[in-house]
Amino acid sequence: MLLEFDEAYTMTKLQHTETFNWSNFHVVQRVLRTMKESLVFSVFLSTTGKISEFVPSKQKDPSNRINAGELKLIQPYTDLGFDQFAKRISKISSENQTLKYITSDEHIAHYGRPMYVYLS
């Protein structure tokens, strides 16, 4: 199973209590760690968040297991961009570049972040 959290920065706002600080992102991390034996992969996407909100330095991470070296952080993929699989449209009209084709599912499906594209 693939879990994708788009605009994940919205989950990183810290909540303050008397004993500790936490965020929804930390809660999701804990839940995902309990599923480590399952076939689950999670992806956190964000266009405006700070990388330090998702992968803080070891010294600033709230997990004692990370500080103790029991768990390791996976370094994030950054600067992925958009529309890598988009088909180019030339200025010169051709058979493939009619308004009908450009507005078709076949063409539009290649826009966006490349999570999965099946090319036949």
Q: What is the structure's pLDDT at 21?
A: 81
Torsion of CA 46, 52, 53, 57, to 10 degrees: 140
Q: What is the structure's pLDDT at 31?
A: 92
Please report, for the chain, the start and end positions of each structural domain, with discontinuous segments joined by +: 2-67, 81-120
| Residues 6 or more apart whose Cβ sits within 8 Å of residue 34 | none
Radius of gyration of the chain (CA): 20
23 closest CA partner among 10, 33, 35, 5:
10
DSSP state of 70: S
| Residues 6 or more apart whose Cβ sits within 8 Å of residue 48 | 7, 9
Q: Are 5 and 11 in contact (CB under 8 A)?
A: yes
pTM of the entire structure?
0.54
pLDDT in tens, 91-101: 555 666 778 88
**Does residue 119 register a pLDDT over 70?**
no
